Structure 1
Amino acid sequence: MDTHSSIIIYNVTVYSENQTLKNGYIKLTDKKITEIGDINQYVLQPKDHIIELSPSYKVIPGAIDVHIHGVNNADAMDGTAEALKTMASTLPKEGTTSFLATTMTQSNEAVEKALRNAGTYIEEQTSTDAEVVGIHLEGPFISPKRAGAQPPTHIQDPNVALFQEWQKAAGGHIKLVTLAPEQPNGLALTSYLKETNVVASIGHSDSTYDQVGEAIEAGASHITHLYNGMRGLHHREPGVLGAAYLRDELFVELITDGIHCRPEMVKLAYDQITSERMILITDSLRAKWLKNGTYDLGGQPVHVNDTTA
């Protein structure tokens, strides 16, 4: 095919940012999408290469995963360019085109190594793989009461000075931080994140509803994996979950694998939060794409059996 020609994929349902095209087309030039629209309004050019499918094919924009630790036996905490390259080359196969490399609660040395590696990789990446658009620092500034799969031995209080060191090590590429704002110095770090254009996310947190309100005032705008690792809903204390439902200032992550929360709870969250504030994530580990077996997550063994870890 002529290198100057375009590929026209048509007769598909195309979902764009603000409309659905039932009889749509996608035009690709030099391996990039350059145009979408209704095929009835497109004028074919002599060099167009036509690929006809059927309306049963649904085409959506590439997914952005803001919370993913690993895939295909690679993990952001490996601290190697090879690990991030494996993640970046695997994810497009399932429709993810960019992601935040997500760290774990570990020793300061291990976290810093992962941050330096990710920062360097982000600045040097040139391939057509999924793009690492930043870093998600999950922990260690979280609540021991809501550790979940985060190793409790490495949890520490929020620390602005330490975060500043880590952001420098990461080349300024930390874009999102999961923290427990109710912990000592939690609001101070939340405010600092807001001031430096980093998203402060409430997660692995035992915050009350009122404490979440204080965090929002300080600059929090995000909730990490709804239902998991947080104070739940009670009729006298709405907790983090109640705030996620009710506070429109918050964007809310949700893992929709049917294991982290029941499908009915996904529906309840969607009905309350709506697509305007909900962010689907995988929160996956290195076992994603691999067979049953035992794998590592933050220094802890994880036993994978069919769909359950």
Structure 2
Amino acid sequence: MSSVRNLRGRDALTLETIEIEVLDTRVASIRPYSGNVDDLWLAPGLVDLQVNGYGGIDLNAAACDAQAIERLTLLLASRGTTAYLPTVITAAHPEMESRLRTIAEARRNSTVVAHAVPGVHLEGPSISPIDGYRGAHAAEHVRPPSLTEFESLQVAADGLIKLVTLSPHWPDVATYIRALRDRGVTVALGHTHASPEQICAAVDAGAQLSTHLGNGIAAELPRHPNPIWTQLAEDRLTATFIADGVHLPADVLRVMLRAKGIERSVLVSDSVALAGSKPGLYHSPIGGDVIVGADGSVRMRDTGLLAGSGIALKDAVALAAGLPGSSLRDAVRMATEIPGGFLNAPCGRLAVGSSADLLLFRWSAADDTLALIEVLVEGRSMLALQNN
């Protein structure tokens, strides 16, 4: 027997008041609605290009198994993130292979994971080896790009690696970037001390993204040139931003969004397993001994460098939407259709016939997150699942 549901609210992307009819797993119709919807908003499910973990589940921990990844996927969905890229960071080659195999296994074994995970983000290992630029990545495992190594990792991942973050300072990196692009992999620049010339050469070779621009970089930089200015100025690069109020102060985020433009901007969480934890000292595969602050930040104890964020993507949407000169529409676009466009997957859009991955929520400019009323993934209520 078919299941039918109707959701009513203001479309966060068109600002029109609409009614969405969901038939089983798909959007059956979208039509104007003239009734009262109070302050309810509708949007596609959020798309996060950078998730290291959340809610105590760490994708970079040896103990993480396929069942944990399914739990993580359901947890993220209950927070409004219905599609995401599990992110594997710099480590020894066997460890990275193991983590990728686990993600591939989870996707094979679980229809929930298969639907939510269109690929994997490989952040490293070919990033800057220099302190500051390297961030929380382990120095001993940073190494030059190797197509042989990448192909080994891609086999372990069952072909799921869709995004690779690297630094373009390495010799002959343009050849490597072109090889990845030929294999259908999106290349992002991040954790880099590269010169303007090296950055431009990487873009000429096919790099398309900047990973968490303004972070993964030294605390002190030359006034100019430096890697931030070059990437901001390069119109062929779309930048991802961690909008948690910690990684980028509000005025910095505002300026960067203006420079890139909404069309070339993406919000990511860069969330880690300690997201939502009480303040205190913890040990993490990302950063080692880390301190969760009262503001939710996760910092390495010895250096104070950030080691991922403590937010879900819906929190970033609310923060970006509340910036002076910004809007909910812009923020939702940066967390749905724009990142979805890099995944070659049917996510982040609201259309008749699309999968019923939908959010119903309340929000005002004073709110620090979206108040989720309902989250549907293929027509199923994720909030009901989490509450059972």
SS at match of 1:140: coil
Counterpart in 2 of 1:305? 293
Does structure 1 conserve the Cα–Cα contact (< 8 Å) formed by 2:52 and 2:86? Answer: yes
Cα distance in 2 for partners of 1:210, 1:66 equals 27
CA drift of 1:94 comes to: 1.5
Verify: 1:125 aligned to 2:106, yes or no.
no
How far does the alpha carbon of each residue in 1:22-75 deviate from its partner, in whole angstroms, 9 at most, with x for none?
x211212225432223114xxxxxxxxxxx872411222111100110001112
Cα distance in 1 for partners of 2:121, 2:68 equals 16
TM-score w.r.t. the length of structure 2 is 0.70
Verify: 1:272 aligned to 2:259, yes or no.
yes
SS at match of 2:60: helix
CA drift of 1:194 comes to: 1.0
CA separation of 1:230/1:292 partners in 2, compared to 1, >3 Å: closer, same or farther? Answer: closer
Cα distance in 2 for partners of 1:117, 1:286 equals 17
Verify: 1:116 aligned to 2:101, yes or no.
yes
Does structure 1 conserve the Cα–Cα contact (< 8 Å) formed by 2:136 and 2:287? Answer: no
Q: 1:255 aligns with which of 231, 242, 246?
A: 242
SS at match of 2:112: coil
CA separation of 1:262/1:26 partners in 2, compared to 1, >3 Å: closer, same or farther? Answer: same
Counterpart in 1 of 2:380? none
How far does the alpha carbon of each residue in 1:77-126 deviate from its partner, in whole angstroms, 9 at most, with x for none?
23410221121010112210010010111111110100111122223331
Counterpart in 2 of 1:43? none
Counterpart in 1 of 2:30? 36
Cα distance in 1 for partners of 2:174, 2:192 equals 13
Verify: 1:7 aligned to 2:5, yes or no.
yes
Cα distance in 1 for partners of 2:199, 2:190 equals 11
Counterpart in 2 of 1:69? 52
Cα distance in 2 for partners of 1:133, 1:80 equals 18
Counterpart in 2 of 1:56? 39
Counterpart in 1 of 2:346? none
Q: Alignment identity in percent?
A: 27
Q: Which residue identity does 1:303 align to in structure 2?
A: I
Counterpart in 1 of 2:15? 20
Unaligned runs of 5+ in 1: 41-51
Q: Which residue identity does 1:36 align to in structure 2?
A: I
Cα distance in 1 for partners of 2:46, 2:3 equals 27
Tell me: higher relative CO, structure 1 or 2? Use CA pairs within 8 A at least 6 residues apart. 2
Q: Which has the larger radius of gyration?
A: 1
Query: Stretches of 4+ moved more than 4 A in 1?
Result: 231-235
SS at match of 1:182: coil
Cα distance in 2 for partners of 1:109, 1:194 equals 24
Cα distance in 1 for partners of 2:232, 2:287 equals 33
TM-score w.r.t. the length of structure 1 is 0.88
Does structure 2 conserve the Cα–Cα contact (< 8 Å) formed by 1:25 and 1:38? Answer: yes
Cα distance in 1 for partners of 2:189, 2:287 equals 24
Where does 1:177-188 land on structure 2 (aligned, <5 Å)? 177-188=164-175
Q: Which residue identity does 2:297 align to in structure 1?
A: T
